[in-house]
Each structure stands twice: as structure tokens, then as C-alpha cells.
Amino acid sequence: MTGMATAGSGEQREAFLTTRQAAEACGVSCQVVRYYTMLGLLREAKRTASGRRLYAPSIVQQMQLIRQLQSVGYALRDIRDTFLKRTDRTEPTSGE
């Protein structure tokens, strides 16, 4: 596959990356992308009708951040916990 897959319609179309494209953009293997997803470091990928994973382009920046944090000594567990805390603070709460 040479181009990026697209999802959405009209002006809201967003380019999505296959696992291989996301991995190559970050200099990691496809297994690393799937491992990070399994650990909860990355959001689950969208799936095509045939089951191919499609990741939002923002995944590249997130993987680069993960790699940088690892390079200065952070464990994947600590990175995940930090991401989860950050997500909890930015998620809107319901009516209470």
C-alpha cells in the first residue's frame, strides 16, 4: 500500500496510517505498534472491513514521545500511567 487510507466524508476526511506506515514513520517495527496498543499506550486502531488496522496520524507523535521518554529512563508502565492520568483530566465529566 503506497498511500494513506482515508475515513470520513466530505471536508472531514482524515488520512489514516496502516500499522506498517505508522511503524516506519517512527522507526519501529509493526510489533512495537501493536505492543504499545496492547499495553494501553496507544488508542485502539480503527479497523477496515477486512480487519486491517488504521491509526490516526497523531499516533506518530505519540509514539515519538513514548520513545523519547523511554530513552531518558522512563518505564512503559510509568508512561502509560502518566498518559492515563492526563486523559482522565481532559475527559469531560457527565453532569455532576
| 6-65 confidence digits (pLDDT tens) | 554 443 456 899 999 999 999 999 999 999 999 999 988 899 999 999 999 999 999 999
Look up the CATH number of the domain holding residue 79. 1.10.1660.10
In a domain, 77, yes or no: yes
Q: Per the structure, how many domains does the chain have? A: 1
Asked, for residue 26, whether it belongs to a domain, the answer is: yes
Nearest to 1 by CA among 27, 30, 40: 30
The burial of 42, by beta-carbon neighbours within 10 Å (0-12 exposed, 13-18 middle, 19 or more buried), is given as buried
Range of the domain at 38: 15-90
Instruction: Tell me the per-residue pLDDT of 49-62, one tens digit each, with 9 for 90 and over.
Output: 999 999 999 999 99
- 82 located within any domain: yes
